[in-house]
Amino acid sequence: MTLTHWTPEDLASRVDEVLSVYAEAMGYPPEVARMRHGFVVSHSQREGLRAVAVTAADDRLLGFGYGYLGGPGQWWHDQVGEWLTPEAYRRWMSDVFELVELQVRPEAQGRGLGARLLTELLGDAPGSTVVLSTPEADEAKSRAWRLYRRTGFVDLARHRLFPGDDRPFAILGREL
């Protein structure tokens, strides 16, 4: 397996593979993931973009992660900002690296790939904090939750609904 830092062009050129991994990891039908194509391509041009990928020996994408500097006027940033108190918003969202995606194919999970991706992604990330959203889960059973807790993420908001998904999400943050 190879871990690689991707350029914006790498992320945009492999968007179909990225969305395939995203759909598998999140349990979405492929057609739902394909609707995010334009979002991922536009995200690849955001300020402060950092993207990493893990590939198999045959270059098959096993996992990926990316994020960028967030700010007012960006949909996710504004959505999450509505759920925080003004004090929490200033602390967590003023100079924030938004971790947009961190996904590993289900058959590749349990091998430490998520932790490797997260470590590489946040190693030199811009910003003073990192914030992400993740589906609510049984924290004892969810690999993602265990990873985020083990790496210092704390609750900022819980049980929040995003348009287009029936599952409640948690908003988690950590200082960089």
DSSP 101-151: EEEE-GGGTTSSHHHHHHHHHHHT-SSSEEEEEEE---TTT-HHHHHHHHT
pLDDT of residue 164: 79
Q: Catalytic residue, from 22, 66, 68, 148: name it.
A: 148
Q: What is the torsion angle, in degrees rounded to the nearest 10, for the CA atoms of residue 57, residue 59, residue 65 and residue 69?
A: 130
Report whether CATH 3.30.2130.30 matches the domain 2-175. Answer: no
| Among 144, 139, 113, CA closest to 27 | 144
pLDDT of residue 87: 97
Instruction: Tell me the C-alpha distance between 141 and 137, whole Å.
Output: 8
Residue 148 among the catalytic residues: yes
Q: What is the torsion angle, in degrees rounded to the nearest 10, for the CA atoms of residue 46, residue 79, residue 88 and residue 170?
A: -100
pLDDT of residue 141: 65
* Cβ-based neighbours of 151, under 8 Å, separated by 6 or more: 115, 118, 174
Average pLDDT for consecutive 10-residue bins of the chain (176 residues)?
96 96 91 90 96 97 98 96 96 98 96 97 97 84 89 96 89 98
